[in-house]
Structure 1
């Protein structure tokens, strides 16, 4: 028990040592890139209002701190982060923390559902292809996953939108809930699921292909190792050998790749949210880019970086559960 506790504390300490400089470097690079873009939030707001005097624009820049040198803006912004304050959004006229937390549940729900769907279908397809290698199920699923891998997720989303929403009318085309609907608890759940089906599959399609091919390759490699032959020689049932010996070891590279693709999943969610008008961080980031709202963009980047780093920490924990030989050094 003490050994497990010591390992867990060591893992947390190692993660923190890696997180702080990584997060600081990401924020600094992103801050520099955003400040290289011509214009600022005041220019955009002046253009949307049809024009503004130079004096009023100067006053607004002083109000939001946009008249300070870039290094001072970053220093003030980072000092506010330490205090738990992500600043104020000139474009949305609201605190950045409030904006992010109002959109974060929708994005996290979409990402989590897509990851679960991708892992479930990807591992299942991979197991089927490995068990029937060279036969028609393997060839059919290999072709199907190749198509999922080759086609962009937004194009798949648009095609699903045309088929199931426009042509058949089975599923809603936008949003995550039906606005203004007075529904029961079960009706609310059913409504949320119906809105999520198309975005979740559009986001998960690319990752289904990756996980299935990776599971297939890992299982075929592990199936010929000595410990699997020994298990079969002991008379263990083929099902138990496949699940407890082959598949469990094959999941280690799958989990590793799943952790590495959290950032890709997050960027894909931004595209899918735009296609399906999903009210998440992706659409908020797009609006912030168009409005040159640096505070909102940095806040979204900050939370996104924390999400990716937390996912990598969870992956380390799952690795130790799948393979007890893995230790923290």
Structure 2
């Protein structure tokens, strides 16, 4: 297993290098004046333009700039954000925990609910319960997450005043201990709910299809012939074997979400990587854009590795081949 993990990590290095090179090339091809984008609408003097051009090597050939970026990246230098007046690594380390908090909270609700709904629907195929659950899941999944977030804000925040409309914490707070925790829960409730509803319905549909497929396998018929109870078959055989496709989809969705839930974070003004990415793109802060993409790529690679390990733990056949 250790060799398998090491080989996967080694294979991920060329992929990560290709992603970084591609995003840098795309930013290079975007039309516009990067110096003017740094200062906004203010006029740029020739001396200032020349200084910025030399400082950020904007006049160097692309291969030279690419090599320079990789050299600095190996040393832990992600560059400096002229727009935010901070090192890019500090921005990532500040915003990443907020995105991780939102993602983990959303998945903590989405995965159990999705498994439960999919299990109920899959074990009662083509019955009234199955039709009701499947129709409701399809309708809810069809709702875009950003639109659902806006509906929640209008209904539960603006109309009823139960939750704050945006942000992560109050402007002024003296709360400590458990009260401090409740304040943060109050702010994260709506974005996490919007995230969990969208992902949970997708997990439910995948789980339903997997449960139906598992129930048609020969070993399930053998278990029934042995006299095992329905609950025992579902708990010992159906649930575990049906979870494999869900692990794949959930792992990919989790890794993608760690790169920043752009739409939800924008709707709720949640100060995570998604909102940082949108702000950086608008201000043409290329170093920050590249850093967020790198963080997202690393997150997806690591989560996929974890998914492979979970596969090996859930399925002994995979473990023997690893």
1:180 aligns with 2:172: yes
Within 2, Cα distance between the matches of 1:127 and 1:103? 36
Instruction: Say if 2:260 and 2:275, in contact at 8 Å, map to a contact too.
Output: no
Matches within 5 A, 1:117-132: 117-132=109-124
Matches within 5 A, 1:51-200: 51-200=43-192
Once the two structures are superposed, what CA deviation does each residue of 1:65-119 show, in whole Å capped at 9, x if it has no partner?
2232222221111111111111111111111101110101001111122222221
Gaps of 5+ in 1: 1-6
CA RMSD after TM alignment: 1.6
Gaps of 5+ in 2: none
Once the two structures are superposed, what CA deviation does each residue of 1:109-139 show, in whole Å capped at 9, x if it has no partner?
1112222222111111101112232233222
Once the two structures are superposed, what CA deviation does each residue of 1:166-198 show, in whole Å capped at 9, x if it has no partner?
011111111122222111311121111121111
Instruction: Say if 2:145 and 2:195, in contact at 8 Å, map to a contact too.
Output: yes
1:232 Cα deviation after fit: 2.2
Residue of structure 2 equivalent to 1:3? none
1:282 Cα deviation after fit: 0.9
Within 2, Cα distance between the matches of 1:176 and 1:11? 40
Match of 1:259 among 251, 254, 261: 251
Within 1, Cα distance between the matches of 2:181 and 2:109? 18
Residue of structure 1 equivalent to 2:266? 274
Residue of structure 2 equivalent to 1:25? 18
1:243 aligns with 2:235: yes
Residue of structure 2 equivalent to 1:4? none
Instruction: Say if 1:259 and 1:315, in contact at 8 Å, map to a contact too.
Output: yes
**Is the alpha carbon distance of 1:47 and 1:265 closer, same or farther for their aligned partners in structure 2, counting shifts above 3 Å?**
closer
TM-score normalised according to structure 1 size: 0.93
1:270 Cα deviation after fit: 1.2
Residue of structure 2 equivalent to 1:325? 317
Match of 2:35 among 37, 42, 54: 42
Instruction: Give the length in aligned residue pairs.
Output: 321
Match of 1:10 among 3, 19, 23: 3
- Worse overlay, 304-313 or 143-152: 143-152
1:47 Cα deviation after fit: 3.0
Within 1, Cα distance between the matches of 2:195 and 2:49? 41
Instruction: Say if 2:259 and 2:293, in contact at 8 Å, map to a contact too.
Output: no
Within 2, Cα distance between the matches of 1:41 and 1:101? 25
